[in-house]
Structure 1
């Protein structure tokens, strides 16, 4: 990363064993907005304080703001590509938008670290916000999702991850920032487990045990892997960085995946969702959606770590 580049938030941090995802809405009144602005200067310090309590815990927190919150909290200038979550698909199979002004993506090797930091951050926000969604995610065996397939195999790494996720000169006022899109999926495990392993592999487009992509000659065009590969006009693949995690409550019959994708523009993630929910071509939708339902959806801008601290002094 160039020396002149602002310090990014922990977007490209290694995937950990535990995570907490918090989506909150901003309460009415200028006092609430002022409290959230001041909180922006405290996020890094609270993360350091909690993280020091466990060597090798890899604790981090990424904070993002939705389109509606940015205008109310910070005004102009605003990130060039920040907008509301775009819905895709017919009513029976829809990527739907749900309320959310701030996103906290907290991750660490151990849940106690995530829990303590979430507690401290929420205490600092106080009654300025209302929690609308909270999910505790966990690593499932060898990076597998609840449905049994390895997740995030094609993630970019190192400099390629930074190039795919961090804004550059295309939006100079927001360099080293990122966009993050989140969705909570619930899976019908009874129907999924009724499929043979071979049928599941055709839905995903990869082998279940060895995590090898199926040959193009046998991989269905409606498979998950076929529809989530996005290319530009030159045929180059547009990468996003996923940090998905399983979650669930077996006693309640709840089994899910929290999808979280980072990119330097919302465009590749939105194109991916359009392919999945509408189809490419239309009607050739992702067959994984026959077993998985998106119940939340939000798009957020992640400022650089430097800008996040500076936003404490911003007034709209």
Structure 2
């Protein structure tokens, strides 16, 4: 495991426990100086807005994580840049593809009550006003005992406690951006009619776990193409984990059933490797059979600055002393 120094700046609410409700907002930045100024000004006030709304239900566990895409970082803040921030990398072929979609700003709002999420989202969007265009909004919910829409427990292997910080938060490897995190988001839609036509045993082989107990299938039974096999990443003989805060969403009346994937990590590399394994295969062709029933319809990569850096970014611009030039995406 990558050791984490004790003096890192305070992260945003990346490692907070999973709540019962969430709103995911992805927006693009509109052109113009005023739009950039509006977004930068909000950076200083996000924490205060969370506190103000949260006081209405002190036990509601309200939080908000704010992240920025590669091109938006150039436009808003310039240099220096987080070392591993780049546009979302698409992988796969037309039949199974992890696609990249527009997104400059990510707001991950969480609470145990949807009314808190809703109120904070409304306050944030009122502040952003015409400076951004929302390109995706998902209202997620915790599905029974942390299950995803296909009926299996989600996030079983999530790191916890200090381990979550070690895997999800940037440390000395990029000291200027220590306390930050990289986050990848994807919206998956499921063909539930086809999925539910499968016997439970076939579903378990696709996922790699028992559906009821969540116990991992024995090595002799679990296929190498199972979801859990292909999303297990090792480096130098050690497993590299990511922190998932996935949520179910859907509209039964419209036949929409989905899972919003959101994964935090100290580097985008392990998540990108997981996507490569899933969509291309390990080895190529041995792809994740869950993708025969699920398709990704969005994809984005963002950097989440530490809490103090997020506030300080209000005073930075591409022409400020801290960001005199914009490097290419």
Q: Could you state the TM-score of these two structures normalised by the residue count of structure 2?
A: 0.95
Residue 74 in structure 1 maps to residue 87 in structure 2: no
The one of 128, 142, 151 equivalent to 1:125 is 128
The size of the alignment, in residue pairs, is 315
The one of 190, 207, 222 equivalent to 1:219 is 222
Which residue of structure 2 aligns with residue 23 of structure 1?
26
Unaligned runs of 5+ in 2: 319-329
Cα pair 2:277 2:288 within 8 Å, conserved: yes
Q: CA RMSD in A?
A: 0.7
Which residue of structure 2 aligns with residue 314 of structure 1?
316
Residue 230 in structure 1 maps to residue 233 in structure 2: yes
| Deviation at residue 2 of structure 1 after TM alignment | 5.3
Please identify runs of 4+ aligned residues in structure 1 that moved more than 6 A: none
Which residue of structure 1 aligns with residue 259 of structure 2?
257
Unaligned runs of 5+ in 1: none
Matching of residues 47-196 of structure 1 within 5 Å: 47-196=50-199
What SS does structure 1 have at the residue aligned with 2:262?
A: strand
Residue 42 in structure 1 maps to residue 41 in structure 2: no
CA distance in 2, matches of 1:79, 1:297: 20
What SS does structure 2 have at the residue aligned with 1:114?
A: helix
| Deviation at residue 4 of structure 1 after TM alignment | 2.8
| Deviation at residue 92 of structure 1 after TM alignment | 1.2
CA distance in 2, matches of 1:144, 1:20: 18
What SS does structure 2 have at the residue aligned with 1:237?
A: strand
CA distance in 2, matches of 1:200, 1:269: 23
| Deviation at residue 249 of structure 1 after TM alignment | 0.1
| Deviation at residue 3 of structure 1 after TM alignment | 5.5
Q: Deviations over 1:187-228 (max 9, x none)?
A: 000000000000000000000000000001000010000000
Residue 241 in structure 1 maps to residue 243 in structure 2: yes
| Deviation at residue 180 of structure 1 after TM alignment | 0.2
Which residue of structure 2 aligns with residue 276 of structure 1?
278
Cα pair 2:5 2:172 within 8 Å, conserved: no
CA distance in 2, matches of 1:129, 1:184: 20
Cα pair 2:181 2:265 within 8 Å, conserved: yes
